[in-house]
Amino acid sequence: MKRSLFDDVHEDFRASFRTFLAREVLGEEGRYGEWEREGIVPREVFAAAGRGGFLGMAVPEAYGGAGAEDFRLNLVIGEETQRAGVGSFGLGITLHNDICLPYFLSYCTEPQRERWLDGIASGELITALAMTEPGIGSDLAAMSTSARREGDHYVVNGTKTFITNGINADLVILAVKTDPSERHRGISLMVVERSMEGFERGRNLEKIGQHAQDTAELSFSDVRVPIDNLLGQESEGFRYLVSNLPQERLSIAASAVAAAEAAIGWTLEYVRERQAFGQPIGSFQSSRFTLAELHGEAQIARVFVDRCTQALNDGELTAEDAATAKWWCTDLQGRVVDRCLQLFGGYGYMLEYPIARAFADARVTRIYGGANEIMKEIVGRSLGL
């Protein structure tokens, strides 16, 4: 089905991002397989993405960005990394652009903008968002990382876990309790910088998928964070999280649909070539029905995600629609990669095949960004239940 979401400017951006991926991630300069084995993307790749104009597109020109507040550009990056089978590289970039940057754009004071935006757009400053703790994930209001005010500093203590870009990050948007006696109303956001004393990173966590993505535990032991690093107003952190989560969830949904489409594409190629009982396996009716079903479901999901993207650009994306997109598209991704892998037979289980990596990478999308059960809570409550 023809898409009406994009203009020429997005297609040009897509073409140059494909060139970037071919050169810096897959081809001559790129060593994606090595990054997957090492569990991390080298920092200089972020800088190369920054030079190419693929980071912080929404950063105003005065601060080194393109001033393009258009989520369609973000979508192109998510789609192309999935299409190229380098989703675990893409996750670090989409986290930086789609998830962390909006906090800096919405809540930074002028001096903070001057300190950080240029580096975020150039890739010199890699960002992360730290909410989850070893003891809490879904129930954010129960977090225990604390920030106690002492003169012109906060003294921060606590531990965060599962933090994407956790090893590479220079700027961590940290969710803390500035008032531990409150739940949601006690949460504030502040930016912790790489060099701050008492801020330590644990090991790069071993995961079943997303192997090129660094995911880490972060610990904060009497870290003195200047009050100038507070993002927005004290105690407003939960409200900020709630207003930014729809974009995060749409980003995950869009990448999920792109991952499903990529898996279907690889599988179509494979079933045309692979022979069994003297004929291509794609010519068996069961294979045709499987691919017809998956193709149809992916197209339907794509239309919903494109419509949500327009709504986001128009400032109208609701929390419920973003939650619906997130749970439905990531469930779909799981179904698609699983059924596609089956059509590859034993080769589908071999990591040298992109479908095997896509299968392992897909599992987490139903968990992070808010587990799918929590998405259904959001939608269910909006129905008055």
Burial (CB < 10 A; 0-12, 13-18, 19+), residue 205, is: middle
Name the residue number minimizing CB distance to ligand FAD: 137
β-bridge pairing 171-177 and 187-193:
antiparallel
Query: Cα angle at 104 between 100 and 110, to 5 degrees?
Result: 170
Q: How far is the CB of 216 from ligand FAD (least distance, A)?
A: 9
By beta-carbon proximity to ligand FAD, the closer residue of 240 and 270 is 240
Q: Which is nearer to ligand FAD, 63 or 240 (CB)?
A: 240
Q: Minimum distance from CB of 218 to ligand FAD (Å)? A: 10
Query: What is the closest distance, in whole angstroms, from the C-beta atom of residue 88 to ligand FAD in the complex?
Result: 10
Helix, coil or strand: residue 52: coil
The C-alpha atoms of residue 170 and residue 290 are separated, in whole angstroms, by 45
Catalytic residue among 217, 234, 248, 261: 248
Which lies closer to ligand FAD via its Cβ, residue 163 or residue 329? 163
Q: Is the dihedral of CA 272, 306, 329, 216 positive or negative?
A: positive
Residue 72 vs 366, nearer CB to ligand FAD:
366
The least distance separating ligand FAD from the CB of residue 366, rounded to whole angstroms, comes to 8
Q: Which is nearer to ligand FAD, 25 or 163 (CB)?
A: 163
Where along the sequence are the contacts to ligand FAD (CB under 6 A)?
129-132, 137-138, 162-164, 207, 210, 215, 364, 367-368, 370-371, 373-374, 377
Q: How far is the CB of 199 from ligand FAD (least distance, A)?
A: 16
CA nearest neighbour of 58 among 3, 113, 115, 128: 113
Is the separation of the CB atoms in 63 and 113 below 8 Å?
yes
CA neighbor of 364 nearest in space, from 332, 334, 328: 334
Tokens describing residue 214 = 């660094």
Contact between 134 and 159 under an 8 Å Cβ cutoff? The reply is: yes
Active site residue 248: yes
Active site residues: 248
